[in-house]
Structure 1
């Protein structure tokens, strides 16, 4: 009987309201009250405990790159789990090595580059934070003169203590201060402020090419090149946080591909596992890759056979199914359609990471009205809606949202 059990046979059948009542008595309230209880997904669609269908335009916040229950990814995960599920990092596995090689190839990493696998984006950033600290160490291993790390206003890099120190939002930071020191936040997109801040005391600069949590704000053209030049001159690391923007989200493997730069390190996660938890820190070149030595960092589950198999399957499907082309085409269709909707004042983003601003502070009400109409979206700000759907979203599916959006906006305004 146990061998035949599925997840649905291990839990009782309840209504959404019943599940939410049980949630409130058993889970920590750090996420607030869940909007729905979801029980099943297929492609870009999900269903809740009461049988209602939704078009998922958030993708688990840019995680479900290939949608839900992708047959190839699920088959690879099942096969790997039935073969070898977990080993400690006293050992390795073919999937771990193959995935590291694949990521280095996709990112055109120079010779001597390396990969460290984690379970999430914030853990990848935490590893990068340690990397930055080692860039500030003197030859004897003690802390040297490089004690400063630069991040941007509006940045979101995660919730663990090092990643939180890089995150700018005061509401996230204040309850946990004092945070790891030395982080300075400078104005977003201001090249002059960046160049003025970088000197021989700076260990690293952390940048998101597009700030997702701040409302999908792309860095202005030329900013990354200026950052590369300034960090190189000062001997600081340039670390790109591509947790949300990487793995095809912008229609390219990396959002930084066309910037004409080679960073010192990149963090990845979210879409990398197609829904299975995995993250990665990529260090570029021998000098950066040697900063963290044996025993200076580690993880129990990072790079386990199942997670790395899931990531390999996801990358293979993106390549073989020409998903990047779909991202570019459907993203353009969505952005053009959104710009024509009355009440939308600005549309930003690239590929299928899209933010659009409204003419009134009704974004949270839009999320609610959207759910009632069968669409899952997100509001990172009172006037802003974020879309990060599966990369396999079709024009027809996107069109249903564009057609419904005027009524959703009106319902949200009427509710205020």
Structure 2
């Protein structure tokens, strides 16, 4: 496709993406050019309220001054060396990360999917070397509705048909149980079970909050049955649900923990697998690695992000703002909304499919100046930067009301 001179920027940018990019996404029809705080601007200069925050990756808001300064300062000094050498930035970053989460040790990676893959490798090797499971026979239990990334191993244990279709064969060794049902987990454990991988709140499944006491119950089961509990907090971690970690709502300390998204401050991919010293001891030099994982640049930004998280009391802010937003959304009481659920600033609005698809609602929200994204066809996500102000919540709820009226 040839772009004629004088074509509007939006048409040119979208056409080039469609011509040269793989069609693995279906973005909303908007071209974004700038971001600041909780707002984004399109190519026409229109200001839009970001109620998505890149699936929690922009929890600190767009272009947070302290994070940008940390990025620029470190990029000017030293950005990437690989882990073949020590640097002055990695140790302080890992120390702060472990102290904040209460975990013993951390292994830095880049994306959330990489952190989960690292967790799976650790769990399997722990199962073999510590628990005594025969090599190649370790099993990991997962919850139906999970979303942990897009690698072939991870989509292999997904319960979403589209994520699996045509990408097999898949790795064996995964068993699925119903989410929110501790008894289902207990029944699925065998002598070959090494770990249970679970999201404290399922994000991509539609912001599904399990029954109260679920995580505490699975912690007890895993401890009693000699199974590692690994919490996938790539999306829920670092303040999103109103605590530093979502598992802390029930006082649970997992054996393994995956973090990502917000850990990079909305500026670059930074992730980590954290675990007890016993679990992390299965890794020996040469067992696992990453060229960019734990780079000085990633460590500097990650450490700055953790500092901002604490200094600006963002978990506490997410708890207060989330409670307010849940109340405002539920007060809409429109027939098109069948349920509003969530924890902190991770909220899903279930749309009656007989009224409209969630995609249509997100397109209507875009026309009203609010950015969001649907999931599973019926859920509109409200997961803004944790720096959001009360007036922005009012704007978002009013925009949703107008959007639903326009679709009616």
TM-score, normalization by structure 2: 0.93
Change (3 A) 1:140 1:18: same
Q: Which residue of 2 aligns with 1:377?
A: 372
* 1:157-168 alignment runs, 5 A limit: 157-168=148-159
Q: Which residue of 2 aligns with 1:327?
A: 318
Q: Deviations over 1:343-388 (max 9, x none)?
A: 3222111111111212334211001001111101111122211111
Give how far 1:141 is off: 9.8
Q: Identify which range, 219-228 or 250-259, moves more after superposition.
A: 219-228
Contact 1:158–1:167 (8 Å) recurs in 2: no
Q: Which residue of 2 aligns with 1:4?
A: none
Change (3 A) 1:326 1:13: farther
Q: Which residue of 2 aligns with 1:363?
A: 358
**Distance (Å, rounded) in 2 between the aligned partners of 1:62 and 1:35:** 21
Q: Which residue of 1 aligns with 2:271?
A: 279
Give how far 1:239 is off: 0.6
Match of 2:300 among 293, 309, 327: 309
**Distance (Å, rounded) in 2 between the aligned partners of 1:277 and 1:264:** 24
**Distance (Å, rounded) in 2 between the aligned partners of 1:190 and 1:351:** 22
Q: Which residue of 2 aligns with 1:267?
A: 258
Q: Which residue of 1 aligns with 2:52?
A: 58
Are 1:410 and 2:405 matched, yes or no? Answer: yes
Q: Which residue of 1 aligns with 2:246?
A: 255
Contact 2:108–2:293 (8 Å) recurs in 1: yes
Are 1:47 and 2:65 matched, yes or no? Answer: no
**Distance (Å, rounded) in 2 between the aligned partners of 1:43 and 1:33:** 22
**Distance (Å, rounded) in 1 between the aligned partners of 2:219 and 2:136:** 21
**Distance (Å, rounded) in 1 between the aligned partners of 2:191 and 2:222:** 9
Q: Which residue of 1 aligns with 2:112?
A: 121
Which secondary structure does the structure 2 equivalent of 1:185 belong to? strand
Give how far 1:139 is off: 7.3
**Distance (Å, rounded) in 1 between the aligned partners of 2:168 and 2:108:** 28
* 1:136-285 alignment runs, 5 A limit: 136-138=127-129, 143-144=134-135, 146-275=137-266, 276-284=268-276
**Distance (Å, rounded) in 1 between the aligned partners of 2:200 and 2:364:** 31
What is the aligned-residue RMSD (CA, Å)? 1.9
Contact 1:198–1:230 (8 Å) recurs in 2: no
**Distance (Å, rounded) in 2 between the aligned partners of 1:175 and 1:49:** 37
Are 1:82 and 2:76 matched, yes or no? Answer: yes
Change (3 A) 1:190 1:14: same
**Distance (Å, rounded) in 2 between the aligned partners of 1:138 and 1:308:** 31
Ranges in structure 2 where 5+ consecutive residues have no aligned partner: 1-5
**Distance (Å, rounded) in 1 between the aligned partners of 2:299 and 2:8:** 34
**Distance (Å, rounded) in 2 between the aligned partners of 1:302 and 1:411:** 47
Change (3 A) 1:139 1:338: closer
Change (3 A) 1:142 1:217: closer
**Distance (Å, rounded) in 2 between the aligned partners of 1:136 and 1:288:** 9
Give how far 1:410 is off: 2.2
**Distance (Å, rounded) in 2 between the aligned partners of 1:33 and 1:140:** 46
Give how far 1:145 is off: 7.5
Q: Identify which range, 114-123 or 217-226, moves more after superposition.
A: 217-226
**Distance (Å, rounded) in 2 between the aligned partners of 1:17 and 1:145:** 52
Give how far 1:99 is off: 1.2
Change (3 A) 1:75 1:199: same
**Distance (Å, rounded) in 1 between the aligned partners of 2:177 and 2:356:** 27
Change (3 A) 1:223 1:33: closer
Give how far 1:67 is off: 0.7
Ranges in structure 1 where 5+ consecutive residues have no aligned partner: 1-11
Give how far 1:258 is off: 2.8
Q: Which residue of 1 aligns with 2:3?
A: none
**Distance (Å, rounded) in 2 between the aligned partners of 1:382 and 1:291:** 41
Contact 1:95–1:308 (8 Å) recurs in 2: yes
